[in-house]
A and B are shown apart, each in its own frame.
Chain A
């Protein structure tokens, strides 16, 4: 029985498979944006809430329906001129729960998300005064880890890698066009708008990247990046996902930075079975009707067994159970979807 947590512009919903249909609980957190989901080492689910006025919140649940707030969500230290605008992502690293936030920063919790400390080695990086926001804000939105290294994707700053458990961080963006440097100009150290990251947990240095400037891969932990867009209708997009068992890569191309909808309104996931060297439409089931909608970077999830789900900015959910061979649109509509999480 599949369950899906859906975080939207106006609350969260829990979808529970019921025969051939879905039962919908919610909205939970009415009046709040729900921007990210995670899980503690102990197994409790974690949800991040946000608001245009009231700051952010972190909530815990054992049953996905009853949520308890943390008294101390991530907060910039007293006197900081930075704003805690949104929690973008959670990530488990050993016994720690990490959170990526806007305005861009990394926070760490040793008590399952009840209290948080800033990761100053990254947050106060020597390049900090050069960090600038993208259209979605200045946000740390993706965290990866493996074999003693960590990667953090920050828009519109770039990818940072740490090889010493977060003590120091180095920008890793060689091969990526910067956001606003004229051709032939000197490459800046930061100013790269990463949108999505995925890697191979067995070979963590093999990393795939959906960037503002296209789709790229690295086989050396981000030291060098090469463009891989053969078969894609566009290089722009937000999603990059890798199925751990088969290595299948999934992305959702959007036309361009200026027109963030599928090319010709043909919404579909694209898949690669050769590490990104070539891409094709993932399976069947896609709508024949125009689908001028977007898919945000945290609105895609996989269950590790061949189930994938994504939500659109138009509030629709799409699902596959067979690694993307067949897709179906669920018969329900929600507010703009920011995050989804498939719950085992």
Chain B
């Protein structure tokens, strides 16, 4: 199954095409691994040295905050939220 993954525009410099991507997997970890196989430049920006989601990077599956073990359904939409701060 293929689900939609949207990334913030600021991360578009790390990918080959745009902010909307398709990837496959039954958990968030599997979807990201599949996405990274085609967009390897994205991995370093979403995961830390230990393979964990970076602090302050929020990823939502179907509008609920997710971790790497979160299940993904065929109809799911995944959104990497834009991190912001003032100034």
Do the two chains belong together in a single complex? yes
Residues of A that sit less than 8 Å from B by CB = 29-32, 49, 51-57, 59, 67, 69-73, 75-80, 82-84
Q: Is the CB of A55 within 8 A of B54?
A: yes
Chain B residues closer than 8 Å to A70, beta-carbon distance: 41
User: In the complex, which of the residues A30, A51, A72 contacts B40, with contact meaning CB atoms closer than 8 Å?
Assistant: A72
Chain A residue nearest in CB terms to B49: A76
Chain A residues closer than 8 Å to B48, beta-carbon distance: 55, 83
Chain B residue nearest in CB terms to A28: B13
Q: Is the CB of B51 within 8 A of A54?
A: no
What would be 7 A-B contacts, judged by CB atoms less than 8 Å apart?
A51-B10, A53-B55, A53-B57, A55-B44, A75-B44, A75-B49, A84-B49
New A-B pairs, 10, CB < 8 Å, besides A53-B57, A54-B57 = A51-B10, A54-B10, A54-B45, A55-B45, A55-B48, A57-B45, A71-B40, A78-B49, A83-B48, A83-B49
Q: Is the CB of B41 within 8 A of A54?
A: no
CB of B85 within 8 Å of the partner chain: yes
Bound complex: CA A66 to CA B56 (Å): 29
A117 CB to closest chain B CB (Å) equals: 15
Interface string of B27-59 (1 = CB under 8 A from A): 000000000000011001110111100111100
Residues of B that sit less than 8 Å from A by CB = 9-11, 13-14, 40-41, 44-46, 48-51, 54-57, 83, 85
Chain A residue nearest in CB terms to B57: A53
Chain B residues closer than 8 Å to A73, beta-carbon distance: 44
A76 CB to closest chain B CB (Å) equals: 5
Q: Is the CB of A71 within 8 A of B41?
A: yes
Q: Is the CB of A53 within 8 A of B56?
A: yes
User: In the complex, which of the residues A32, A53, A67 contacts B54, with contact meaning CB atoms closer than 8 Å?
Assistant: A53
Q: Is the CB of B49 within 8 A of A54?
A: no
Chain B residues closer than 8 Å to A54, beta-carbon distance: 10-11, 45-46, 54, 57, 83
Bound complex: CA A201 to CA B2 (Å): 57
Bound complex: CA A31 to CA B40 (Å): 20
B20 CB to closest chain A CB (Å) equals: 18
Max count, chain B CB within 10 A of own CB: residue among A30, A32, A69, A75: A69
Q: Is the CB of A69 within 8 A of B49?
A: no
Bound complex: CA A82 to CA B50 (Å): 10
Max count, chain A CB within 10 A of own CB: residue among B45, B48, B57, B85: B45
Bound complex: CA A341 to CA B11 (Å): 25
Chain B residue nearest in CB terms to A82: B49
Chain A residues closer than 8 Å to B50, beta-carbon distance: 78-80
Chain A residues closer than 8 Å to B14, beta-carbon distance: 57, 69
B14 CB to closest chain A CB (Å) equals: 5
Bound complex: CA A78 to CA B54 (Å): 14
A104 CB to closest chain B CB (Å) equals: 15
> Contacts A29-B13, A54-B11: A78 and B51 contacting too (C-beta < 8 A)?
yes
Bound complex: CA A72 to CA B14 (Å): 11
Chain B residue nearest in CB terms to A70: B41
A285 CB to closest chain B CB (Å) equals: 31
Chain B residues closer than 8 Å to A57, beta-carbon distance: 13-14, 41, 44-45
Chain A residue nearest in CB terms to B56: A53
